[in-house]
Structure 1
Amino acid sequence: MAKRFICTMDEPVVTTVAGKLRGYKMDDIYHFEGIRYAKAKRFGDPRKVTPWEGIKDATNYGPISPILRNPTPSGEVKIPHRFWPASENCQYLNVWTNSLDTNAKKAVMVWFHGGGFADGSSIEQVAYDGTNLARYGDVVVVTVNHRLNVFGFLDLSDFGERYANSRNAGLADLVASLKWVKENIMQFGGDPENVTIFGQSGGGGKVTSLGQVPAAKGLFQKAIVMSGVLAKGMTDQDVPAKEFAMAILSELGLKEDEVEKMEKVPTQALIDATNAAIAQYAAQGKRINWRPTPNDFYTGDPMNVGFGEASKVPTFVGTVIAEFSAGEPTKDKETYTWEEKRAAVADKFGDANADRIMDLFAKAYPGKNQVYARDIDGMFRHAALDYIKAKAKESPEPVYSYLFAQIFDVHGGVAAWHCSDIPFVFHNTDLVPVCQIEGVTERLEKEVFSSFLSFAKTGNPNCEAVPELKPSTADKVYTIVYDEKTEVKEDFDEELVKVVNDLTPPRRMGMTETVPKDDDDEEGGRAWLY
């Protein structure tokens, strides 16, 4: 059946603070793509766009932020991506809505993409598309591009007041996007006083970071953090800010007193110089991390400095069962004998620890194949539990916990990996091949989608589709576990996660290798992780 498409000279058109925008309507959903929400000079703070006369077109996605090196596509059956032109002028957002009634006052969900603070975009994953979330959720959906890596998080504050917030320019972009939402979203049927920010991985980190930005006060009312809480030390920087900046200047052939010239060098020249400096430190075993760093604009990690204004915001925090630990076996995991299951766990955690981990896994996940004990996440869940308890202790607002534990029928059985919950949240399982699980997908999507949607609208994830979930406390974590049978459990995996965390070698995020391998079979390079 043909879709009904509308895009005329005067429909659909909305009037924003800066001027009129023309989008298009496909069936029941209005699309406004590539809306410029701010402008900024390199390393500078974002500023409002210049008002315009006439009607601007908003039917094309805007440029994404440049990244330092294109990853090698892999695992597209699990996380399909799409590519898009990049530009430093990347402050664009997209809106999906089913109404342009300014009195509709629909809940608004603002999505921040993954990829840490270095990679990704608002349309990077196919599952980021907001059409179904707007259609089936009756909400207004916004997805945001912003400056990344050297363009958004290079600390030049030692070079003068001009660069006081260059270290957090990308985060400042996100604040600017929320200010745009505050001023304009009513024109798209949204309620500026009912805004939920949500994001996964780096996007989850952006959500927790915005809670620490005084300038973001009042710009959102609820927060969802998906696999976005990292353990302390994971994003530490090995190189002092000024030293790293000096290394980039040197690669550009510039001196310390010529830092302003770095604002004008071509984009690719800055990328090349940055990569060369990173490689220089990588050869010394030192990592470079792109992330917000404390100053007057950003107060710091809430686990270090407290939650401040974020304590007044209801929060839904969770992870997936395997994250980056998901293994892909050489045969169907359902055919493993008990001895083979134990051997797989012992190979990962050591023979002396295998029985204990398998027993704890069986206690936490009764009935689930114990071979998946080897895949338990040792990177995000432990930190998320600490975050949940700390926020529950400090905050008068509720903090809820979730875990996505589905086993997918691919490569012999793979436990839910980093990003695998995103299609279910966006009601986009139909766009991701691996999500097609007979007898499971429809139910699981309804449960995940409905509870996330309920939280976005009311600050409470409870709804008819799922069992009742209590807010967590400083002493007890109540978790809704989305699985073959979705259940609510109390402190169910804390001991297992602690043991796995203690046995998992510390993992540190950061840029190390930046030079692609000379490899004719296209297997070299950095795989997609988001």
Structure 2
Amino acid sequence: MKKKTSIILSLLLMSLSPMLSFSQKKTVTAAPIIANSSTGVVQTEFGKVRGYVHKGIYTYKGIPYAVSERFMPPSKPKAWEGVRSSMTYGPVCPMDATTSVNDVIEFAFNHNWGYTNESCQSLNVWSSGINDQKKRPVMVWLHGGGFTAGSSIELPSYDGENLSKKGDVVVVSLNHRLNILGFCDLSAYGDKYKYSANVGIMDLEAALHWLKANIANFGGDPNNVTIFGQSGGGAKVTTLMYAPSAKGFFQKAIVQSGSYRTSFLEKEDAQKVSAALLEELGLQPSQVDSLQKIPYDVLNAAGKRAQQKVQAKMKAEGKAFVGGGLGWGPSHDGNYLPYQQVDPAGIEISKNIPLLIGSTKNEFMASLINPAIRNFSTDEAKAFLQKKYGDKTEAYLKAVEKAYPNTTKPSDLIDIDVSTFRPGAVKQANMKATADAAPVYMYMFTWQSPIMDGMYKAIHCIEIPFVFDNIARCEEMTGGGSSAYALSNKISQAWINFAKSGNPNHKGLPTWQKYSAENGATMILDNECVQKFHHDKDLLEITAGK
């Protein structure tokens, strides 16, 4: 009996042994995040910094690249002892506080407003390797928000981890001085303030200087730097292309929906604003130094009133405005920015910089401002257009059909960007694309978001998650569907290839031809990517000046 029982137990154990063995095995996988006192330590010229590793990507946040007094050019930060923890984002530049949002629009954007401090000059780095002597292309992201707002953490699409991982590139983003802190021209009040009109752009250059000296230890190639940005960030890219002192600190440039300023503010007008600012605050020119200690909220409010007064006078005199109104931004000061954008000498500075440039189909569409347009019938849409284009309406409709044959909704006839970013991109590309200059590549992002019954279309900022390979982080805007991932794979690879070689072509796209004013070559980025030539020439000619 005992022998029989023993045999039964042996058979039972044998049958269970695979299960027991399986239950005891442990699947060894890399930790999704590694953060400790010794991981990710990198030497910089100012001291050591420590980041962390997330999904195989070394991540650093809030590293100071410069310091400055208010209205003064940036200078190098002070060195520190020991290892500086650099694991959370630094402060953003003070700006108008956000007190309310449009719920349905904010759902798509999902902003992170951060925290503010005038000492905001810090940067963030993502890299797949550090201290390894490898020379990875460096992609430096300049955030949007015009020249008055925004930050490197404003949108979830700005996170550089996925782009760094996909392309084995070093991604950098940064914060810098904005609005009155970055662009108040006080040069009329002494040599001390000689550069005050453009210190916000000088911050960007200071970051490029930091990269030149330090990015090699983060696995990057200091001699292969691409600056890229969207909206205000794209305009910042353009501005750096006209700054003689920034020459040599970047080798390629990408402007995304950023060609909305065709000139810099003239020094004469910038100085009128600063004079009005002193009047608003009850200060004499001899008291200009008092501006350095006035609380930001008081200074900012007075600056707005000053701009409104000067704008009213300029309007009465029939003067045009840069970017549609008198706002803070870079000015043609004769020092840091010695040339206007149409000046051949200014264009010559970045002559050898390859440029990738484009915009989205819908940008700031009318149906966002007036939701009733979303449900327009065809007749209502035509009546709306008739008020704007008069006897050119039928020609406009035919031009839309030619340029964008997939336009189906009546509101789509109205929502195409034909007045700001697209014509601005064409003008900028035409100036840059000369026979003896570095190549220019043009794109148009037309993919339509399916979220909220398609109300977002190809909205301003929608291409950013595709560029950064961040579809999953931005599902509220992209929908997170298979078509979004497929297009993101194509777009992010094109941006990576451009950063590596100055050419965005890869096997996932049709041949992307160089742009010229003669061929109008534009890559349409959609579910089906297509190379077209002067696809919207008729449309832009009809709408010019409207």
What TM-score comes out, normalization by structure 2 length?
0.86
Identify which of 175, 181, 193 aligns with 1:151: 181
For residue 93 of structure 1, report the CA deviation from its aligned partner.
0.5
Verify the 8 A CA contact 1:362 1:370 in the aligned structure 2: no
For residue 3 of structure 1, report the CA deviation from its aligned partner.
5.1
Q: Distance in 1 between matches of 2:111 and 2:82?
A: 35
Identify which of 341, 349, 353 aligns with 1:313: 353
Identify which of 400, 406, 410 aligns with 1:367: 406
Secondary structure of 1:9's partner?
A: coil
Identify which of 297, 304, 323 aligns with 2:336: 297
- Residue in structure 2 matched with residue 521 of structure 1 by the alignment: none
- Quickly say closer, same or farther: Cα 1:405–1:256, change in 2 above 3 A: same
Q: Percent identity?
A: 37
- Residue in structure 1 matched with residue 424 of structure 2 by the alignment: 383
Secondary structure of 1:311's partner?
A: coil
- Quickly say closer, same or farther: Cα 1:424–1:281, change in 2 above 3 A: same
Q: Which has the higher helix share?
A: 2
Secondary structure of 1:400's partner?
A: strand
- Residue in structure 2 matched with residue 327 of structure 1 by the alignment: 367
Verify the 8 A CA contact 1:68 1:149 in the aligned structure 2: no
For residue 412 of structure 1, report the CA deviation from its aligned partner.
3.7
Verify the 8 A CA contact 2:127 2:171 in the aligned structure 1: yes
Q: Which has the larger radius of gyration?
A: 2
Secondary structure of 2:271's partner?
A: helix
Identify which of 72, 75, 94 aligns with 1:66: 94
Identify which of 147, 150, 153 aligns with 1:117: 147
- Quickly say closer, same or farther: Cα 1:227–1:66, change in 2 above 3 A: same
For residue 425 of structure 1, report the CA deviation from its aligned partner.
0.6
Are residues 1:404 and 2:434 paired?
no
- Quickly say closer, same or farther: Cα 1:351–1:297, change in 2 above 3 A: closer
Secondary structure of 2:433's partner?
A: helix
Q: Distance in 2 between matches of 1:341 and 1:265?
A: 51
Report the residue type matching 2:359 in the other structure. T
For residue 141 of structure 1, report the CA deviation from its aligned partner.
0.5
Verify the 8 A CA contact 1:14 1:22 in the aligned structure 2: yes
Report the residue type matching 1:121 in the other structure. S
Are residues 1:277 and 2:302 paired?
no
- Quickly say closer, same or farther: Cα 1:337–1:87, change in 2 above 3 A: closer
For residue 274 of structure 1, report the CA deviation from its aligned partner.
2.0
Which whole-Å deviations, capped at 9, do the CAs of 1:447-491 have from their partners, x for residues lacking one?
211111111111001001111111112322211001131101011
Q: Distance in 2 between matches of 1:446 and 1:208?
A: 26
Identify which of 525, 530, 535 aligns with 1:487: 530
Secondary structure of 1:44's partner?
A: coil
Which whole-Å deviations, capped at 9, do the CAs of 1:27-63 have from their partners, x for residues lacking one?
2111100000001111111111111221111012111
- Residue in structure 2 matched with residue 48 of structure 1 by the alignment: 76
Verify the 8 A CA contact 1:79 1:420 in the aligned structure 2: no
Q: Distance in 2 between matches of 1:251 and 1:8?
A: 52
Are residues 1:458 and 2:505 paired?
no
For residue 317 of structure 1, report the CA deviation from its aligned partner.
0.6
- Quickly say closer, same or farther: Cα 1:417–1:8, change in 2 above 3 A: same
- Quickly say closer, same or farther: Cα 1:313–1:447, change in 2 above 3 A: same
Q: Distance in 1 between matches of 2:111 and 2:351?
A: 35
Report the residue type matching 2:329 in the other structure. R
Q: Distance in 2 between matches of 1:308 and 1:296?
A: 17
- Residue in structure 2 matched with residue 130 of structure 1 by the alignment: 160
Verify the 8 A CA contact 2:466 2:491 in the aligned structure 1: yes
- Residue in structure 1 matched with residue 297 of structure 2 by the alignment: 268
Q: Distance in 1 between matches of 2:76 and 2:481?
A: 49
Q: Distance in 2 between matches of 1:275 and 1:169?
A: 19
- Quickly say closer, same or farther: Cα 1:30–1:437, change in 2 above 3 A: closer
- Residue in structure 2 matched with residue 92 of structure 1 by the alignment: 122
Q: Distance in 2 between matches of 1:296 and 1:243?
A: 18
Verify the 8 A CA contact 2:235 2:259 in the aligned structure 1: yes
Matches within 5 A, 1:76-91: 76-91=106-121
Which whole-Å deviations, capped at 9, do the CAs of 1:116-142 have from their partners, x for residues lacking one?
111111111121111111122211110
Identify which of 239, 243, 255 aligns with 2:284: 255
Are residues 1:198 and 2:237 paired?
no
Are residues 1:356 and 2:395 paired?
yes
- Residue in structure 1 matched with residue 319 of structure 2 by the alignment: none
Verify the 8 A CA contact 2:42 2:131 in the aligned structure 1: no
How many pairs are equivalent?
500
Verify the 8 A CA contact 1:332 1:411 in the aligned structure 2: no
For residue 346 of structure 1, report the CA deviation from its aligned partner.
3.6
Report the residue type matching 1:408 in the other structure. S
Report the residue type matching 1:33 in the other structure. K
For residue 302 of structure 1, report the CA deviation from its aligned partner.
2.6
Verify the 8 A CA contact 1:102 1:190 in the aligned structure 2: no
Q: Distance in 2 between matches of 1:239 and 1:77?
A: 42
Verify the 8 A CA contact 1:68 1:275 in the aligned structure 2: no
For residue 339 of structure 1, report the CA deviation from its aligned partner.
4.0
- Residue in structure 2 matched with residue 515 of structure 1 by the alignment: none
Q: Distance in 2 between matches of 1:238 and 1:175?
A: 21
Which whole-Å deviations, capped at 9, do the CAs of 1:364-415 have from their partners, x for residues lacking one?
1223316322112111111211111111126521000000011222444343
- Residue in structure 2 matched with residue 28 of structure 1 by the alignment: 56
Verify the 8 A CA contact 1:105 1:189 in the aligned structure 2: yes
Verify the 8 A CA contact 1:106 1:189 in the aligned structure 2: yes
Verify the 8 A CA contact 1:326 1:417 in the aligned structure 2: no
Q: Which runs of 5+ in 2 are unaligned?
A: 1-28, 316-324
Deviates more, 1:189-198 or 1:306-315: 306-315
Q: Distance in 2 between matches of 1:219 and 1:495?
A: 39
Q: Distance in 2 between matches of 1:342 and 1:269?
A: 47
Identify which of 437, 447, 462 aligns with 1:420: 462
Q: Distance in 1 between matches of 2:441 and 2:508?
A: 16
Secondary structure of 1:479's partner?
A: strand
Report the residue type matching 1:325 in the other structure. M
- Residue in structure 1 matched with residue 18 of structure 2 by the alignment: none
Secondary structure of 1:495's partner?
A: helix
- Residue in structure 1 matched with residue 169 of structure 2 by the alignment: 139
Deviates more, 1:161-170 or 1:124-133: 124-133
Matches within 5 A, 1:441-480: 441-480=484-523
For residue 239 of structure 1, report the CA deviation from its aligned partner.
8.0
Secondary structure of 2:203's partner?
A: helix
Q: Which runs of 5+ in 1 are unaligned?
A: 504-530
Secondary structure of 1:77's partner?
A: helix
- RMSD (Å) for aligned C-alpha atoms: 2.4
